[in-house]
Amino acid sequence: MNLYRHGMIFSTFLGSCLCIGLLAAALGTRYWIVSKAIRLNNSKSYGEIFFGLFEGERDLNVGYGTRQYPINVPSEMSEMMIYSLWLGTVVCMCAGIIFSAAAAVFAVINTATTPIGILTGIPGLYIWNILSKLSSREYVGCQML
């Protein structure tokens, strides 16, 4: 196999690792939604609310100093968002991580050797990357609803 082809397959590995990192960071962040809370009739009152898929925090000041209240997103799900869309987002993001990991592993295998199987060879790289893209597109779709 020529050097250009090895380089392109290895770049698939780097792209898959980038996708894994971005999806893992998106799953773990506490800043999916950020908002400011104010009272119009009190100038000393302000606050900040932020949360991610699993946890968050409310920092509220009503004139006596800032108070921090944790937000447990799964337990307060009925007040904030639709459970099936939240679950679809989490499942699709995890599926995207798994498919990207499979693409990364098979990209390394394809760089080192020349496998002939459909799922382990070059067609497999297309399959794993397409599945990763589809699952990532689906979690974006869950957020748009």
Q: Could you tell me the pTM of the whole model?
A: 0.84
Residue 37 CB partners (closer than 8 Å, separation 6+)? 46, 47, 48, 49, 58, 60
Could you read off the pLDDT tens digit of each residue along the chain, which spans 145 residues?
588 888 888 899 999 999 999 999 999 999 988 999 887 777 778 899 999 999 999 998 887 888 899 998 888 877 778 888 899 999 999 999 999 999 999 999 988 888 888 888 889 999 999 999 999 999 888 888 7
CA 84 to CA 90: how far, in whole Å? 10
CA-to-CA separations, 119 to 3, 66, 87, 110, in angstroms, rounded: 22, 55, 28, 11
CA 124 to CA 15: how far, in whole Å? 15
